[in-house]
Amino acid sequence: MRLKILDKYLHFYNSEDSKLSIKERYLTLSRSFLMIMLLITIVPLSITTALSFFQYRALIRQETINNAQWNAESTRQGIEAFIDKLRATIQIISESYKYKDLSVQENLDRVFENLKSKNKGLVDLSVIGTDGVQQAYSGPFNLKGKDYSDSLWYQKTLARKVYVSEVFMGYRNMPHFVIAISKKVTGEDGYWVLRASIDTDTLDQFLAGVRTANLVDVFLINSKGVLQSSSHYYGNVSDQSPVVVERLPHNKSISTEENNQGTKAMVNVVGQINETPWFLVLEQYGYADKKTWVIFKRELLIIYVVSFAVIICLTFFIASFLTSTVRKAEETRESILAESEHANKLASIGRLAAGIAHEINNPLAIINEKAGLMKDLLQVSNDFKYKDKFLLQIDSMENAVKRSRAITHRLLGFARRMDVKLEPVDLNSVITEVLGFLDKEAAYQEIRVDQDLQPELPNIMSDHGQMQQIFMNIINNAIDAVGNGGIIQISTRQIDTKTVRVDICDDGPGMPPEVLKKVFEPFFTTKKGSERQGTGLGLSITYGLVKKLGGKISASSEIGVGTTFTILLPTGSVSTGGRDI
């Protein structure tokens, strides 16, 4: 499938009736190259950049989630270990001591003091009898004799044997939780309970120990979403958190979800603390706030922008280079076509000229002979009144025939096959010879001819006679152009080892561009009506001869300044195609 823009260009390019100027056409071509190259470079660059962006984002996002899960898991394990240790300690005490021994205040105080030094956060230790009334209490509060028989924690302890409570205020009027163990009284039916109260500051300290760069908040809640520890954002113990309780996991697994809070992407990890009524909630900033992600985005953007700029510059350069190459190729093609067209034109005109010359020469010969005979007869006859006048008329006729003959012979010369005879030619000598022929003409019109001929100019392989004709035509033209008192400058130079240049400048009136363009056309003349009326073939023949000899001829002119003919001739051998022109 071709690109539309290319089609657009080709349409304009091929369309003969296109109104586009050459400049606009090449501008369109340049734009087309530019668009195509931008498409085939920017699109892959953008796709690659986008792929890198999304792949790295997925990677860093997964890493962020894994990191949050790992942090939550390690925190959960820490809390579980702490609770397990306390529970095990309480259990050992309940098994090591009998109910009646621990019911003695002194014994309980001793055990409490022992425990307190080893278990941070332990507030108090108490023994509750089979009737639910506190029998002994060691701690800062005066709670001995308190009846817990209707308390929820007491009932659950009796039912479960071991119980870790939610955080509550209770008689102490401070947030705490209890670890209680019920044990059968030896020799009786009832159960006694050993209970330890732990300050929630201990849990807060655990949670405060979680150190991670992107941590936002970490706290504990119960199954109803009520805070069991302090939270940075949602308040203190017993406040309601915004966590949706329906989504809380009820096994050892942890749930993870991503959400946006304002402009921030967050990762929330929730996991249940084993054998407790608590759930650990950990909130961490998402991947978007990670330093590596920010750096990656910045570097990716820089690489993309720099690549884009480089591509734009290169594309401009390549588009302009291609356009200029195409333009040069087209100009060369057009120049070859124009030359070929010119040569064909010359050949056609040559054939036509030869035919016309032949047809005219025959009647011209008859006129010539008839006039000649009349003259002969008049000369041998006796004098009569109009003899001299008749002879004068006949001379005029003969002169007219001579002029016509000059034209027809020139036409035939134009049409004649020009065989090139190559020989070493000294251009300076040829110019001097030609000037020798034209000396009188120039002197008569007071024309100054300045010669700036390079000494030791190398000989060129060319045709001496045809070189003479070339310079004769151009210098003759210059003489006609400058008129009385004019100046003609002739210079020869070797440009390089292969080329010699001849410039013939005159200070004549110059030619406008439209005349200059046609100066080498056959039968184009500006000398109509002048004394030295031209046939319009001189420069055309010169053009053909120079081309035939492998050279180039060009003319430049400026009105009021003059005209310069420049001839470039090869020093070596030339192609002698020998075609008719």
Residue 253 sits at φ, ψ, to 5 deg, of -70, 165
500 contacts: CB under 8 Å, gap ≥ 6? 427, 457, 458, 460, 492, 493, 494, 568, 569, 570, 571
Residue 359 is a binding residue for other proteins (CB under 8 A):
yes
Residue 465 is a binding residue for other proteins (CB under 8 A):
no
Residue 252 is a binding residue for other proteins (CB under 8 A):
no
**Cβ 400 to other proteins shortest distance, Å:** 11
Residue 364 is a binding residue for other proteins (CB under 8 A):
yes
Choose which of 24, 376, 423, 450 interacts with other proteins (CB under 8 A): 376
Q: Which stretch binds other proteins (CB under 8 A): 156-164, 188-196, 388-396, 408-416?
A: 408-416
**Cβ 459 to other proteins shortest distance, Å:** 26
User: How many whole angstroms separate alpha carbon 579 and alpha carbon 179?
Assistant: 122
Amino acid at 531: E
Quote the tokens at residue 336: 């070859």
Q: Total number of residues binding other proteins (CB under 8 A)?
A: 28
Choose which of 357, 434, 541, 549 interacts with other proteins (CB under 8 A): 357
Choose which of 8, 327, 416, 552 interacts with other proteins (CB under 8 A): 416
Decide whether 364 or 567 has the Cβ nearer to other proteins.
364
Total residue count of the chain as it appears in this document: 581
User: How many whole angstroms separate alpha carbon 285 and alpha carbon 126?
Assistant: 43
**Cβ 573 to other proteins shortest distance, Å:** 22
Choose which of 20, 310, 377, 443 interacts with other proteins (CB under 8 A): 377
Strands (E), 215-333: 215-221, 254-261, 264-272, 279-285
DSSP state of 59: H
H or E element in which residue 262 lies: none
DSSP string, 486-536: -EEEEEEEEEETTEEEEEEEE-S----HHHHTTTTSTT--S-TTSTT---S
Decide whether 85 or 421 has the Cβ nearer to other proteins.
421
Choose which of 116, 144, 297, 405 interacts with other proteins (CB under 8 A): 405
Distances (CA, A) of 310 to 39, 43, 302: 14, 14, 12
Strand order in the sheet with 215-221: 215-221, 279-285, 264-272, 254-261
Contact letters for other proteins, residues 315-354 (x by CB under 8 A): ---------------------------------------x
Residue 372 is a binding residue for other proteins (CB under 8 A):
yes
User: How many whole angstroms separate alpha carbon 552 and alpha carbon 549?
Assistant: 9
Cβ-count burial 341-376 (b if 16+ within 10 Å, e if not): ebbeebeebbeebbeebeeebeebeeebeebeebbe
**Cβ 537 to other proteins shortest distance, Å:** 13
Quote the tokens at residue 309: 């700029």
Q: Which stretch binds other proteins (CB under 8 A): 207-215, 236-244, 407-415, 435-443?
A: 407-415
Decide whether 407 or 438 has the Cβ nearer to other proteins.
407
Residue 370 is a binding residue for other proteins (CB under 8 A):
yes
**Cβ 456 to other proteins shortest distance, Å:** 36
Choose which of 274, 361, 468, 489 interacts with other proteins (CB under 8 A): 361
Residue 412 is a binding residue for other proteins (CB under 8 A):
yes
Residue 483 is a binding residue for other proteins (CB under 8 A):
no
Choose which of 115, 265, 312, 367 interacts with other proteins (CB under 8 A): 367
Decide whether 95 or 376 has the Cβ nearer to other proteins.
376
Distances (CA, A) of 372 to 311, 361, 363, 385, 392: 86, 16, 14, 20, 12
Amino acid at 247: R
**Cβ 509 to other proteins shortest distance, Å:** 35
Residue 395 is a binding residue for other proteins (CB under 8 A):
no
Residue 366 is a binding residue for other proteins (CB under 8 A):
yes
User: How many whole angstroms separate alpha carbon 23 and alpha carbon 444?
Assistant: 50
Residue 417 is a binding residue for other proteins (CB under 8 A):
yes
Residue 373 is a binding residue for other proteins (CB under 8 A):
yes
Residue 135 sits at φ, ψ, to 5 deg, of -90, -40
Decide whether 389 or 417 has the Cβ nearer to other proteins.
417
Q: Where do contacts with other proteins occur on this chain (CB under 8 A)?
A: 354, 357-362, 364-370, 372-373, 376-377, 380, 401, 405, 409, 412-413, 415-417, 419
